[in-house]
């Protein structure tokens, strides 16, 4: 396996380009199963979760053509059997999107119980609720979720709580169902809107994406399109926090500032300067990082996927900060790794109390999941001395060339091969 070796304490300076959004791209790739013609996806991030999704489609019979590093032509006409390869799909949360897309096309699907970053229990009861509302039945067959329907009939779906994945899957299953489906209490993330725009450009009839009520009138045919994925709001937020944590001055390019509003607001509250332009944000610091309280919420609230990174910044703030993350059962597994670097954090359930310590000190640490891994990199960049981050296979699931991009901002970060460790990363 590989690790990052970081010599910290150098303020980041310069510009960095943000890649396509992981949590949009995995949904768009799965959505090509519903399309009756070949599609071309642009601005696709070069990350291992996408590589894995494409490998699954190819093993199922799709034709995949890489037109360049970020542009992919996908023709799923060759898929005839709604069974997803077990070993490939079981480590990735996004594999549950094959349930909705295969059900939408074949009225049946066999998909391994999904994996994903270990953030606690991650059931799919709301996904199955949506499928049942449309007339499907479900059971477990050899470790696979099995769903099937004689026909998919539009209906009202009311989610018990906001869930990104179940909203995605409800859209997938409804887009070719008979008549009208109304999804209530829908997730409003930018990647939900991106999926709706992608499917509508193929000829689907989806209205209200980005609000908590989405109306879908089923159609029979979806024609091929060329479509560009939105920029990754979480990758952008990660570089914004890294700029603040290192006391640097960084311009983050190829972003949609509106998608970053909650992160920008929180950074400004901590005394960080953020200047917005049409497609970029500039982040710089000219004073201490101030303490704050933070609670993660579904969009447009502060994203849970930014919690580990922001909590790392708060370990360097003046005073005591409170971070509450009740989106997942346990998204503080990284805290033990930050303590190795001198952080003073106590966790009680879904609440972390962070006493600012001013400066962290380099140490060997592990990435415990995708975003926690990014937080370890930020901690190493800000700390004095040398930090080694292992299990970087987690980080590579969701960040394109993160070491190269940070080196472009003046960071001293090297990728080193270490033959003895053998982490198998689950990714969210």
Residues that bind ligand EPZ (CB under 6 A): 22-23, 26, 93-94, 117, 122-127, 163-166, 304-305, 327-328, 370-371, 398, 428
Least distance in Å: CB of 102 to ligand EPZ? Answer: 17
Least distance in Å: CB of 421 to ligand EPZ? Answer: 22
Least distance in Å: CB of 374 to ligand EPZ? Answer: 9
Angle at which helices 307-314 and 233-245 cross, to 10°: 10
| Close Cβ partners of 93 (under 8 Å, ≥ 6 residues apart) | 114, 115, 116, 117, 122, 165, 426, 427, 428
* Closest to 424 in 3D by CA, of 143, 113, 91: 91
Q: Buried (b) or exposed (e) across 365-388, using 16+ Cβ within 10 A?
A: bbbbbbbbbbbbbbbbbbbeebbb
Least distance in Å: CB of 163 to ligand EPZ? Answer: 3
- Residue 94 gets which letter from DSSP? G
Closer residue to ligand EPZ in complex, CB, 101/126: 126
Closer residue to ligand EPZ in complex, CB, 22/291: 22
- Distance between CA 89 and CA 124 in Å, rounded? 15
Catalytic choice (96, 117, 133, 270): 117
What is the layout of strands, in order, in the sheet containing 71-75?
A: 63-68, 71-75, 39-42, 226-228
Least distance in Å: CB of 334 to ligand EPZ? Answer: 12
SS3 153: strand
Specify the DSSP element, H or E, that contains 34: none
Least distance in Å: CB of 375 to ligand EPZ? Answer: 11
270 as an active site residue: the answer is no
* Closest to 235 in 3D by CA, of 211, 263, 209, 193: 263
Specify the DSSP element, H or E, that contains 355: strand 351-355
> Per the structure block, which two tokens stand in for 94?
């996004």
Closer residue to ligand EPZ in complex, CB, 45/165: 165
Closer residue to ligand EPZ in complex, CB, 158/221: 158
Q: At 189, phi and psi to the nearest 5?
A: -55, 155
Least distance in Å: CB of 161 to ligand EPZ? Answer: 6
Q: How far apart are the first and last CA of the chain?
A: 20
Closer residue to ligand EPZ in complex, CB, 52/371: 371
What is the layout of strands, in order, in the sheet containing 13-17?
A: 13-17, 249-253, 280-284, 273-276
Closer residue to ligand EPZ in complex, CB, 22/105: 22
- Distance between CA 312 and CA 356 in Å, rounded? 10
Least distance in Å: CB of 306 to ligand EPZ? Answer: 9
Closer residue to ligand EPZ in complex, CB, 122/259: 122
CA angle in degrees (0–180, nearest 5) for 404-25-389: 35
- Distance between CA 424 and CA 402 in Å, rounded? 19
* Distance from the Cα of residue 33 to its chain's centroid: 21
- Distance between CA 426 and CA 418 in Å, rounded? 20
Rounded-to-5 percentages of helix, strand, coil across the chain: 35, 30, 40
- Distance between CA 1 and CA 366 in Å, rounded? 12
Closer residue to ligand EPZ in complex, CB, 22/52: 22
Closer residue to ligand EPZ in complex, CB, 6/327: 327
Least distance in Å: CB of 41 to ligand EPZ? Answer: 16
Question: What are the residue numbers of the active site?
Answer: 117
């Amino acid at each position: 396996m590989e690790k990052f070796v970081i010599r910290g304490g150098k303020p980041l300076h310069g510009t960095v380009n943000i890649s396509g959004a992981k949590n949009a791209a995995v949904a768009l790739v799965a959505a090509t199963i519903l399309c009756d013609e070949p599609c071309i996806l642009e601005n696709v991030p070069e990350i291992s979760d996408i590589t894995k999704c494409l490998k699954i489609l190819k093993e199922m019979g799709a034709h995949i053509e890489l037109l360049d590093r970020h542009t992919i032509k996908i023709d799923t006409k060759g898929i005839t059997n709604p069974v997803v390869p077990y070993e490939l799909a079981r480590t990735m949360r996004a594999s549950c999107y094959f349930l909705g897309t295969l059900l939408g096309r074949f009225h049946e699907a066999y998909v391994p119980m999904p994996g994903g970053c270990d953030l606690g229990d991650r059931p799919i009861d709301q996904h199955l609720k949506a499928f049942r509302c449309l007339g499907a039945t479900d059971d477990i067959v050899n470790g696979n979720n099995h769903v099937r329907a004689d026909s998919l009939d539009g209906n009202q779906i009311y989610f018990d709580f906001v869930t990104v994945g179940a909203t995605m899957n409800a859209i997938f299953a409804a887009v070719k169902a008979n008549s009208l489906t109304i999804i209530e209490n829908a997730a409003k993330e930018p990647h939900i809107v991106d999926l709706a725009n992608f499917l509508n450009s193929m000829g689907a009839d989806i209205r209200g994406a980005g609000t908590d009520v989405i109306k879908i009138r089923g159609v029979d045919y979806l024609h091929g399109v060329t479509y560009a994925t939105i920029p990754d709001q979480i990758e952008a937020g990660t570089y914004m926090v890294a700029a603040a944590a290192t006391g640097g001055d960084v311009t983050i390019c190829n972003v949609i500032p509106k998608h970053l509003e909650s992160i920008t607001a929180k950074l400004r509250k901590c005394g960080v300067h953020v200047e917005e332009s049409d497609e970029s944000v500039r982040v710089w610091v000219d004073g201490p990082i101030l303490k704050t309280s933070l609670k993660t919420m579904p969009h447009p609230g502060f994203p849970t996927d930014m919690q580990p990174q922001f909590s790392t910044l708060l370990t360097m703030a003046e005073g005591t900060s409170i971070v509450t993350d009740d989106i997942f059962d346990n998204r503080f597994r990284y805290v033990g790794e930050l303590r190795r670097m001198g952080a003073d954090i106590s966790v009680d359930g879904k609440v972390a109390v962070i006493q600012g310590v001013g400066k962290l000190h380099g140490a060997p640490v592990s990435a415990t999941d995708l975003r926690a891994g990014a937080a370890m990199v930020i901690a190493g960049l800000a700390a004095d001395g040398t930090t080694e981050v292992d299990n970087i296979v987690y980080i590579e699931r969701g960040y394109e060339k993160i070491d190269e991009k940070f080196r472009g901002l003046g960071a001293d970060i090297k990728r080193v091969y270490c033959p003895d460790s053998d982490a198998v990363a689950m990714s969210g």
